[in-house]
A = this chain, B = another copy of it.
Amino acid sequence: MQKSFDISSSAGRYGVEVGTGLLSRTLAANPDAIIICDRNLSGYLPATAAEPIYIDAVESNKSLEAAPSVIVALRQRNANRNTHLIVIGGGIIQDISTLAASIYMRGISWTYLPSTLLGMVDSCIGGKSSINVGGYKNLVGNFFPPKEILIDTAFIRTLDAEMVVGGLYEAAKICYARSFEDFRDYLDTKPSYPLDPDGAEAVILKSLTTKKWFIEVDEFDNKERLLLNFGHTFGHAMEAATNFGVSHGIAVGVGMLIAINYATRRGELGAVGIERTAALAGHVKSKLGDGKFSVVVSPPTIPIDGVLEKFTHDKKHRTDAYRVVIPRGDGALELVPQQRSDEVHADIRSAYEETIADIGWQFE
Q: Which residues of A contact B (CB under 8 A)?
A: 10, 64-65, 67-69, 71-72, 75, 80, 99, 102-107, 128, 131, 133-134, 136, 139-143, 220-221, 315
Q: Given A103-B140, A128-B106, A142-B107: A68 and B65 within 8 A (CB)?
A: yes
Are A68 and B133 within 8 A (Cβ)?
yes
Q: Given A80-B315, A315-B80: A106 and B71 within 8 A (CB)?
A: no
Q: Given A80-B315, A315-B80: A104 and B140 within 8 A (CB)?
A: yes
Q: Given A67-B64, A80-B315: A72 and B134 within 8 A (CB)?
A: yes
Instruction: Tell me which of A10, A68, A141 has the highest count of chain B C-beta atoms within 10 A of its own C-beta.
Output: A68
CA distance A105 to B71 in the complex (A): 21
Are A139 and B71 within 8 A (Cβ)?
yes
Are A71 and B103 within 8 A (Cβ)?
no
CA distance A106 to B129 in the complex (A): 8
By secondary structure, the A interface counts as: mixed
Contacts of A315 in B (CB 8 A): 80
20 new A-B contacts at CB < 8 Å, known A69-B134, A71-B133: A10-B10, A64-B67, A64-B68, A64-B103, A71-B139, A71-B140, A72-B133, A72-B136, A75-B136, A75-B139, A102-B142, A103-B142, A104-B139, A105-B139, A105-B140, A105-B141, A106-B220, A106-B221, A107-B142, A142-B142
Give min CB distance, A345 to chain B, whole Å: 23
Instruction: Tell me which of A69, A105, A140 has the highest count of chain B C-beta atoms within 10 A of its own C-beta.
Output: A140
CA distance A315 to B105 in the complex (A): 10
Contacts of A106 in B (CB 8 A): 128, 140-143, 220-221
Contacts of A142 in B (CB 8 A): 102-103, 106-107, 142
Contacts of A143 in B (CB 8 A): 106
CA distance A260 to B65 in the complex (A): 44
Q: Given A64-B68, A80-B315, A315-B80: A103 and B75 within 8 A (CB)?
A: no
Are A134 and B103 within 8 A (Cβ)?
no
Contacts of A99 in B (CB 8 A): 103
Are B134 and A68 within 8 A (Cβ)?
yes
Give min CB distance, A218 to chain B, whole Å: 14
Contacts of A133 in B (CB 8 A): 68, 71-72, 75
Contacts of A134 in B (CB 8 A): 68-69, 71-72, 75
Give min CB distance, A23 to chain B, whole Å: 28
CA distance A104 to B72 in the complex (A): 23
Contacts of A221 in B (CB 8 A): 106
Contacts of A220 in B (CB 8 A): 106
**Nearest CB to that of A11 among chain B residues?**
B10
CA distance A71 to B99 in the complex (A): 15
CA distance A131 to B75 in the complex (A): 14
What are 10 contact pairs spanning A and B, CB under 8 A? A10-B10, A64-B103, A68-B134, A71-B133, A80-B315, A103-B131, A104-B139, A105-B141, A106-B143, A106-B220
